[in-house]
Structure 1
Amino acid sequence: MSLYRTLRNLQKEGLKTWWRQLQYIGDAKSGTFVGADQFGNRYYENRNGEEEVPGRHRWVDYAQHEYNATQVPPEWHSWIHHIRTDPPAADPIIQNLTPPWQAPYVENLTGTRGAYKSYNTAKPKISAWEPKVASRS
């Protein structure tokens, strides 16, 4: 990131947004707002190819402070990774193919209190030894 680009993005975005971007994504970017998902994540795109490194002109601004990549729904993931050219809100294929019975997307909860914990209903092959006390007579 060059000094000129950083100062230009500071001027475009304002001090508060510029500082937040430096803290969260480590880079000061300016672009157009494309849309938001059900989690409150905001998606941006910079169509000026000269300002950004190729392939890094689409990005997400996470709503939560503690974020991870599983908080991006599949339709937005396909847009960020250039699988789809149009964002999900404007893509007619995604609008028509999403089945109404589909469960809402939930982020991966592995390592948290909400993680799935299975239980075993089969009898164990090895059982622990339990001593039997004989009464003295």
Structure 2
Amino acid sequence: MVSLLRTIRSMRRVGLREWFRQMQYIGDAKSGRFVGMDEFGNRYFENMNAEEEIPGRHRWVDYAQHEYNGTQVPPTWHSWLSHIRLDPPTEDPIVQNVTPHWKAPHVENLTGTRGAFKTYNTTVPKINAWEPKVTPRGTSSL
């Protein structure tokens, strides 16, 4: 009964369309404070109401892409989602001041896709396959 009330409360807060989208993507109806957005368009939320959320599940990400995976979350946001950092990157002065400008931008892991890194093999094989030497018919060496 508690989860049904929580679901109805969340549906009222976020609206029917967003509630339906959440049920399709994360399988749960959640409502909370919008914390920030990363460079990929992922949105991050937090709900500190202890009556509604299970401890440890009060922070979540709403992915921008339909086909998503965990590597699309930048390291700074991942540390906030996993409770390594108390404040989100948008509010944490340490993250905003210490992040070096020379650092390469975060790229998701493309393993298993067309964009995956594949090395070009330049080594000579140690074992060569047998190739038969055939003389053409009609020409005999006798």
What TM-score range do you get, normalising by the shorter chain?
Answer: over 0.9
Return the index of the structure with the highest Cα Rg: 2
Paired position in structure 1 for 2:130: 129
Paired position in structure 2 for 1:97: 98
Mark the runs of 5 or more structure 1 residues left unpaired by the alignment. Answer: none
**1:89 aligned partner, one-letter code:** T
**2:24 aligned partner, one-letter code:** Q
Q: Equivalent residues in 2 for 1:45-124 (5 A)?
A: 45-124=46-125
Give CA deviations for 1:114-137 in whole Å, capped at 9, x if unaligned.
000012211110111122233524
Identity %: 72
CA distance in 2, matches of 1:129, 1:33: 66
Give CA deviations for 1:93-121 in whole Å, capped at 9, x if unaligned.
11122111111110000000000001221
CA distance in 2, matches of 1:124, 1:92: 54
Give CA deviations for 1:56-78 in whole Å, capped at 9, x if unaligned.
00000000111111111100000
Paired position in structure 2 for 1:18: 19
Give the TM-score normalised by the residue count of structure 2.
Answer: 0.92
Which runs of at least 4 in structure 1 moved beyond 3 Å after TM superposition? none
Cα RMSD of the aligned pairs, angstroms, is 1.2
SS at match of 2:78: helix
Paired position in structure 1 for 2:32: 31
Report the count of equivalent residues.
137
SS at match of 1:17: helix
